[in-house]
Amino acid sequence: MHENITLLNLSGSNKRIISLFKLFRLNWKYLIVYTEKKVSDSAVSADIYKIRQIRFLTESTFVLRFDRGNMQFKAGQHIIVGLKEELNQREYSVYSGEQDDYLEILVREVFNGSVSLQLKQCKPGQLLHVNGPFGSFGIEPFDMFSKKLVFIASGTGIAPFHSFVRSYPGIDYTLIHGVHYNSEAYERNDYDPLRYISCTSKENNGGHKGRVTRFLPGFPVNQDMLFYLCGNNSMIYEVYHILRDKGIQDENIISEVYF
C-alpha cells in the first residue's frame, strides 16, 4: 500500500487543512502528513517490536499490546503496523497513553480484511513491524485545559480518545461513542461515567438508542467547545454538517478518518 504515499512536512496550522482534506474525500488515503510542530519532538522511526499481550474485548475486536521501544508519540497520533514476516501494513491510532511503558492499538477485524485478520491471529512473542508516529490529530497544549473537549467516535474510532484520556488526566471532556451493540462500548470503565455517552444503534442498553447523528441535534453546544471526530467517513461527514448547522466554526472541528 505504500507505493502511492506522499510524505508532506507541513508547518503551521495545517490541522484544519488536513481535516478538510479528509472531509471532502480527497485522496487522503495516500497522504501521510505530519507537522513540524507536532512531531518535532517525536521523530518518525521504523522498528521491530515484540507482541506482549492480546486482549479480546469482543469476538472481533482486540487490544494488541507490544513493546514501546524508543517510540515517542503524542496522544491522537497513529502508527503503521504489520506482522514482521508480512508485506501489508495498516494505520492504527495509538490506544495507550503517552506515559505507558508499552504501546497498544485497538483493532477490529474487518470482514475479508488482510492485516486486521493477521493481527487477530497473532500470538505473544511474535514480531511486528511498526512505523511512526504520524499525524496531527492531537490536542494543542493551549486548548488542553482551556476548552471543553467533545470527542465523537464510531466503533474503534474511540482509540485516540482513549489515549487522550489516559495521557491527560483532568481534561474537561465528553465522549460520544457510536456503536452497534452494547458490547462494543470498548473498556468503557476507563472513562468517567459522567462523561461517556454511548449511542447504540442495534439494541437498547438503557443509554441512547440510535446513531450518534440522531443524538447530536439535541446535544447543547457552545463556542468554547472543540470537537474531535474519529471513525468512518460517513459518520464524520454527517456530524460535521450537524455541527456546522449548530453554528460551530470550521476551525473548531478536527477529524480523523479511518475508512
Ligand X SMILES: Cc1cc2nc3c(=O)[nH]c(=O)nc-3n(C[C@H](O)[C@H](O)[C@H](O)COP(=O)(O)OP(=O)(O)OC[C@H]3O[C@@H](n4cnc5c(N)ncnc54)[C@H](O)[C@@H]3O)c2cc1C
Residues in contact with ligand X by CB under 6 A are 78, 90-93, 105-108, 110, 113-117, 155-156, 159, 256, 258-259
Using the minimum distance from each CB to ligand X, give the nearer residue, 225 or 258: 258
Neighbouring residues of 134: CB distance < 8 A, sequence distance ≥ 6: 32, 33, 34, 39, 44, 77, 78, 79, 80, 91
Q: Rounded distance, CA 213 to CA 83, Å?
A: 36
Using the minimum distance from each CB to ligand X, give the nearer residue, 158 or 225: 158
Using the minimum distance from each CB to ligand X, give the nearer residue, 45 or 114: 114
Using the minimum distance from each CB to ligand X, give the nearer residue, 85 or 220: 85
In the three-class reduction of DSSP (H, G, I as helix; E, B as strand; rest coil), residue 141 is classed as: helix
Answer for the pair 173, 139: CB distance below 8 angstroms, yes or no: no
Q: How far is the CB of 129 from ligand X (least distance, A)?
A: 14
Nearest to 205 by CA among 185, 233, 219, 222: 185
Q: How far is the CB of 194 from ligand X (least distance, A)?
A: 25
Q: How far is the CB of 83 from ligand X (least distance, A)?
A: 11
Residue nearest to ligand X (CB): 113
Q: How far is the CB of 120 from ligand X (least distance, A)?
A: 9
Nearest to 238 by CA among 222, 215, 205, 208: 215
